[in-house]
Chains A and B, each alone.
Chain A
Amino acid sequence: MASFTLKVNGKQHQVDVDPDTPILWVLRDNIGLVGTKYGCGIAQCGSCTVHLNGNAVRACVIPVSGVGDAEITTIEGLSPKAEHAVQQAWIEHDVSQCGYCQAGQMMSAAALLSQNPNPTDKDIDNAMNGNICRCGTYIRIKDAIKTAAKNLS
């Protein structure tokens, strides 16, 4: 066990955990932020996507010891009142079916739009390729990203 201070959604959290604990489990089990989901544990499904200094990363494979003073943003911290253009577009397009993968999808989408405000279809395909949805909401995800891009411009 070791002590780490993490900056999550703008707040400092001190946690005592094993250094190899992936930040996914620190967020869920120690900090109580369960919006970030477990899906595969090997960075293949994207359910655990969070932002590390604004970049979309898979929280299931990043050990807490590797975070340092980087800022972590989870779905709970994407915007104070769920007013991020991506969240609003997800509602407008009624994207969710089971909803389990959607936090990861939204975090990937938000990172894409922060770096590329006007993504092409190809850009969206590439940015979202790491996020699986078994319910099959992909067309709505794509439409929602386009709406969010429009609302951000």
Chain B
Amino acid sequence: MTLIRTKHNRRSFLKVSAAAGGGMVLGFNWLVSCKPAAENVVEVPKEWFNINAFVKIGDTGLVTIMSPNPEIGQNVKTAMPMVVAEELDVDWQNVVVEQAPLDTDLYTRQVAGGSQSIRRGWQGLRMAGATGRRMLLEAAAKQWQVPIEELTTDKGVIYHKSSGKSVNYGEIANSAAQIEVPENIELKDPKDFKIIGKPTKNVDGPKIIKGEPLFGLDIQREGMLISTIIHPPAFGMKIKSFDASEALKVNGVKDVFRVDTAPEEKEWSDINAFPELIAIVADNTWQAMKGKEAVKVEWETVTPGESSEDHENALEKAILSSADEPARKDGDPETAFKNAAKVIEKIYSAPFLPHNTMEPMNFFAHVTADKAELVGPIQTPESMRKSISSLLKMPLDKITVDMTRMGGGFGRRLYGNFGLEAAAISKKMNAPIKLVYSRADDMTQGTYRPAYKITYRAALDENNNLTAFHVRGAGIHGGPVFANRFPAGTVDNYLAENINVESNISTGAWRAPRSNFVAGAEQSFLDEVAEAAGKDPIEMRLALFERAIQNPIGDNNDYDPERYAGVLKLVKEKAGWGKEMPGVSRGVAAYYCHNSYVAQVIDVIEENGKPKIKKVWCAADCGIVINPEGAKNQIEGGIIDGIGHAMYSAVTFTDGKADQENFDRYRLIRLREAPMEIETFFVDNGIDPTGLGEPSLPPVMGALANALYKATSKRLYSQPFAQKDIVMG
């Protein structure tokens, strides 16, 4: 048991706030109802009692737990409430989960990004549950006039063993709500966890299979109009003039106008190449889409349109130059390379990638003279609220941003330009509107994963020991290299450089930013180094980690070499690495990002003369696994997503215009191309949990390239692999 002071985040645990008033239904009522689902075992309560901002208890013992963070498919809406329920000590079957409203005083970090929800939420969520349990216990102790130490709880019931008394949380919730918030609370010993660690199904699963309205695009309101937009067809362009006369003749089209959506004060999330747009507003979606087709626009070029060849040349030039300042330098790499017995040097590259969430960008806005209501899919609701305040010149407290379930995020919905657009359009129309992007709007809007090129050099001495390592990466925008990550710390002579290449294409975070490229490149390169050194690729890595454990170079290495080696050892054991398997070609990779460690082995077989991915073995160390079911699903998803993008996906440009606008020309992985099997193993170490939304994606690109090399004898340097080098079975 851990004793902990509640001072941290204390406001979250003070009862009754504007956001969680007595008995009221929270959030937006078209989504939320406190009805228990069929699987709940107790009756619908008549009255709800607020214990704190996270917990409401009904008089029947049904418990509502607020999920604070945006849900983009990473399943925090299940995992975060599980942590609260664990410390509260209730029966998960009697828990109803609600999406919390945006209130960063109460819920602190309401962001879906960087795989941080679980890591940064862990302590606060435990405290929310434990505080509630303590208040319930104090209420019972007071009622029964017994010392609190004599009370125990199990599944939402308080017991007093010696008197044989018991009370359901629901029966005592009213009294508990009056109890002063305790100064100190006890947290459970992880060995006593009953909910954490138990495979638990997605809380929205039953609604998803019925097609219930959960997503931003599903919003329907009385009097709501639909808006589409036209953004410039190419980066570097803006609107010169437009003619809406034909569009206005389209049945249902209400208005067509130019709208500026740039806020005066920008948040970090206000990345947008096209702040000025043409909005088409109509009665329904199809009319708005038809209206859009009928608008004639004249564009003007502000900056020259770039083509993929320009990007390739600029990146090539960058990696042939050197950074003004190294990101990190240990020892004397120059001399080490000069004295090397063998030098291996390779270049890797990857294209721009749109996010392609299956739910295109959209947002609901209703802006009136004195307030603005926004509802929709957004990973950064607080940033959006601030930007909208600046755009509308309206005080923050007049603006609400409610979060819907999101049809994918992957980083795209960190950048809330669509919310600003919806607000500006609603204001102009003086009506509630839902902004809907077409797939082409979405795919050509920008905020892409940057395009990258990276060069690696390794020096080996005559005994095939790694004596120097040099990495120089360039990206549009921003170099991809993490200077203090592995292999930094394991090599005496080390040099890391990052070079930014400018462009008018807009880029942003995309699932596992930078790692989503650099891991694949680095892990492919190490495979080549191991081959050149005549070493087993796992043994070579383990020897490097051993060096970092025993005698690390430098004191700023941002990974734990024991945990890194741990996942490699686990995957080695589980996959039976090293034993000959006829017809199977194997590749391995390991990577650390977003505070979690992942290692993978991929088995490729031949089917009809073409390589096919038979199985991916995955070992992960994310500390305590809160929900093994959801955790495995995230690992599998990251693996399939990573394989898909490494194999098939790219957006290219001609004169600033994206050559791919929809899924006819842009390829995402499909079911037949997924691995036949994925098996995941978690390291059991009791360390505080970290996230899993991203960490399984980056290394799989390297494991894949290494397995395909074994299968085809071709090294893969340029993503997407399938377009140039490999045809899959």
Q: In the complex, A132→B213 CA distance in Å?
A: 20
Q: In the complex, A96→B289 CA distance in Å?
A: 30
Q: In the complex, A20→B212 CA distance in Å?
A: 26
Residue pair A39, B637 in contact (C-beta under 8 Å)? no
Give the residues in chain B near A135, CB-CB below 8 Å: 73, 358, 408, 637, 641
Within 8 A of B (CB), among A100-133: 100-103, 106, 124-126, 128-129, 131-133
Contact with B209, one of A82, A134, A137 (Cβ below 8 angstroms): A82
Closest Cβ–Cβ distance, residue A109 to chain B (whole Å)? 10
Residue pair B674, A138 in contact (C-beta under 8 Å)? yes
Contact A132 B358, CB 8 Å, known A29-B286, A34-B213, A40-B662: yes
Residue pair B629, A100 in contact (C-beta under 8 Å)? no
Q: In the complex, A52→B115 CA distance in Å?
A: 41
In the assembled complex, A21 has its CB within 8 A of some CB on chain B: yes
Residue pair B670, A34 in contact (C-beta under 8 Å)? no
Q: Which of B215-223, B308-316, B594-602 contacts A (4 or more CB under 8 A)?
A: B215-223
Give the residues in chain B near A36, CB-CB below 8 Å: 211
A selection of 24 A-B contacts at a CB cut-off of 8 Å is A22-B286, A32-B220, A37-B215, A42-B439, A44-B662, A45-B358, A75-B209, A76-B211, A90-B208, A97-B73, A97-B634, A99-B204, A100-B408, A101-B407, A102-B208, A125-B671, A128-B670, A128-B671, A131-B671, A135-B637, A136-B641, A137-B633, A139-B676, A139-B677
Contact with A along B272-295 (1 / 0, CB 8 A): 000000000000111101100000
Closest Cβ–Cβ distance, residue B217 to chain A (whole Å)? 7
Closest Cβ–Cβ distance, residue B38 to chain A (whole Å)? 9
Contact A139 B640, CB 8 Å, known A18-B286, A44-B662, A134-B356: yes
Closest Cβ–Cβ distance, residue A81 to chain B (whole Å)? 9
Closest Cβ–Cβ distance, residue B137 to chain A (whole Å)? 34
Q: How many residues of B contact A (CB 8 A)?
A: 67
Residue pair A96, B210 in contact (C-beta under 8 Å)? no
User: How many CB-defined contacts (below 8 Å) exist between A and B?
Assistant: 193
Give the residues in chain B near A97, CB-CB below 8 Å: 73-75, 633-634, 637
Residue pair B671, A29 in contact (C-beta under 8 Å)? no
Q: In the complex, A131→B663 CA distance in Å?
A: 11
Residue pair B359, A37 in contact (C-beta under 8 Å)? yes
**Nearest CB to that of B74 among chain A residues?**
A97
Within 8 A of A (CB), among B664-712: 664, 668-672, 674-678
Residue pair B211, A74 in contact (C-beta under 8 Å)? yes
Closest Cβ–Cβ distance, residue B422 to chain A (whole Å)? 17
Contact with A along B388-417 (1 / 0, CB 8 A): 000000000000000001111110000000
Contact with B206, one of A34, A38, A91, A101 (Cβ below 8 angstroms): A91
Q: In the complex, A45→B358 CA distance in Å?
A: 8
B contact residues vs A (CB 8 Å cutoff): 72-75, 201-202, 204-206, 208-215, 217-218, 220, 226, 251-252, 284-287, 289-290, 356-360, 405-410, 436, 438-439, 629-630, 633-634, 636-641, 644, 662-664, 668-672, 674-678
Residue pair A45, B663 in contact (C-beta under 8 Å)? yes
Residue pair A21, B286 in contact (C-beta under 8 Å)? yes
Residue pair B636, A136 in contact (C-beta under 8 Å)? yes
Consensus secondary structure, chain A interface = loop
Give the residues in chain B near A139, CB-CB below 8 Å: 636, 640, 674-678
* Given contact pairs A99-B202, A134-B410, A136-B644, a sample of 5 additional A-B residue pairs in the complex whose CB atoms are under 8 Å apart: A98-B359, A132-B358, A132-B663, A132-B668, A134-B356
Residue from B211, B406, B638, B670 with most neighbouring chain A CB atoms (10 Å): B211
In the assembled complex, A140 has its CB within 8 A of some CB on chain B: yes
Q: In the complex, A106→B284 CA distance in Å?
A: 27
A-B pairs with lowest CB-CB distance, top 10: A35-B211, A100-B407, A98-B73, A136-B640, A75-B211, A44-B663, A136-B637, A125-B672, A99-B208, A138-B674
**Nearest CB to that of A26 among chain B residues?**
B286
Residue pair A124, B671 in contact (C-beta under 8 Å)? yes
Residue pair A42, B407 in contact (C-beta under 8 Å)? no
Residue pair B285, A25 in contact (C-beta under 8 Å)? yes
Residue pair A99, B407 in contact (C-beta under 8 Å)? yes
Residue pair A91, B671 in contact (C-beta under 8 Å)? no
Contact A18 B287, CB 8 Å, known A135-B408, A136-B636: yes
In the assembled complex, A147 has its CB within 8 A of some CB on chain B: no
Give the residues in chain A near B670, CB-CB below 8 Å: 128-129, 131-132, 138
Contact A18 B74, CB 8 Å, known A135-B637, A141-B671: no
Consensus secondary structure, chain B interface = loop
**Nearest CB to that of B72 among chain A residues?**
A98
Contact with B358, one of A20, A22, A133 (Cβ below 8 angstroms): A133
Q: In the complex, A28→B284 CA distance in Å?
A: 10
In the assembled complex, A54 has its CB within 8 A of some CB on chain B: no
Q: In the complex, A135→B672 CA distance in Å?
A: 15
Contact A136 B638, CB 8 Å, known A45-B663, A96-B208: yes
Closest Cβ–Cβ distance, residue A49 to chain B (whole Å)? 11
**Nearest CB to that of A104 among chain B residues?**
B358
Give the residues in chain B near A100, CB-CB below 8 Å: 215, 357-359, 407-408
In the assembled complex, A7 has its CB within 8 A of some CB on chain B: no
**Nearest CB to that of A90 among chain B residues?**
B209
Q: In the complex, A90→B211 CA distance in Å?
A: 13
Give the residues in chain A near B636, CB-CB below 8 Å: 136-137, 139-140
Q: In the complex, A25→B217 CA distance in Å?
A: 12
Q: In the complex, A38→B434 CA distance in Å?
A: 14
Contact with A99, one of B251, B405, B638 (Cβ below 8 angstroms): B405
Within 8 A of B (CB), among A1-48: 1, 17-18, 20-22, 25, 28-30, 32-42, 44-45, 47
Q: In the complex, A99→B127 CA distance in Å?
A: 30
Give the residues in chain B near A44, CB-CB below 8 Å: 662-664
Contact A25 B286, CB 8 Å, known A36-B211, A94-B201, A99-B73: yes
Closest Cβ–Cβ distance, residue A13 to chain B (whole Å)? 15
Contact with B285, one of A29, A45, A132 (Cβ below 8 angstroms): A29
Closest Cβ–Cβ distance, residue A33 to chain B (whole Å)? 7
Residue pair A38, B211 in contact (C-beta under 8 Å)? no
Give the residues in chain A near B675, CB-CB below 8 Å: 139
Residue pair B640, A96 in contact (C-beta under 8 Å)? no
Give the residues in chain A near B639, CB-CB below 8 Å: 136
Give the residues in chain A near B438, CB-CB below 8 Å: 41
Residue pair A39, B360 in contact (C-beta under 8 Å)? yes
Residue pair A37, B75 in contact (C-beta under 8 Å)? no
Q: In the complex, A111→B443 CA distance in Å?
A: 30
Q: In the complex, A91→B203 CA distance in Å?
A: 10
Q: In the complex, A25→B409 CA distance in Å?
A: 24
Closest Cβ–Cβ distance, residue B414 to chain A (whole Å)? 15
Contact A129 B405, CB 8 Å, known A35-B211, A39-B439: no
Give the residues in chain A near B671, CB-CB below 8 Å: 124-125, 128-129, 131, 133, 138, 141-142
Closest Cβ–Cβ distance, residue A131 to chain B (whole Å)? 7
Residue pair B359, A1 in contact (C-beta under 8 Å)? no
Closest Cβ–Cβ distance, residue A34 to chain B (whole Å)? 4
Give the residues in chain A near B217, CB-CB below 8 Å: 34, 37-38
Q: In the complex, A18→B288 CA distance in Å?
A: 12
Q: In the complex, A136→B204 CA distance in Å?
A: 18
Residue pair B285, A82 in contact (C-beta under 8 Å)? no
Give the residues in chain A near B75, CB-CB below 8 Å: 97
**Nearest CB to that of A137 among chain B residues?**
B637
Q: In the complex, A124→B674 CA distance in Å?
A: 13
Q: In the complex, A139→B616 CA distance in Å?
A: 12
Residue pair B633, A30 in contact (C-beta under 8 Å)? no
Closest Cβ–Cβ distance, residue B405 to chain A (whole Å)? 7
Contact with B210, one of A82, A98, A137, A142 (Cβ below 8 angstroms): A82
Give the residues in chain A near B410, CB-CB below 8 Å: 134
Q: In the complex, A39→B666 CA distance in Å?
A: 13
Closest Cβ–Cβ distance, residue B516 to chain A (whole Å)? 14
Give the residues in chain B near A45, CB-CB below 8 Å: 358, 439, 663
Give the residues in chain B near A94, CB-CB below 8 Å: 201-202, 205, 629-630, 633
**Nearest CB to that of B635 among chain A residues?**
A136
Contact with A98, one of B360, B408, B644, B668 (Cβ below 8 angstroms): B408
Q: In the complex, A129→B668 CA distance in Å?
A: 11
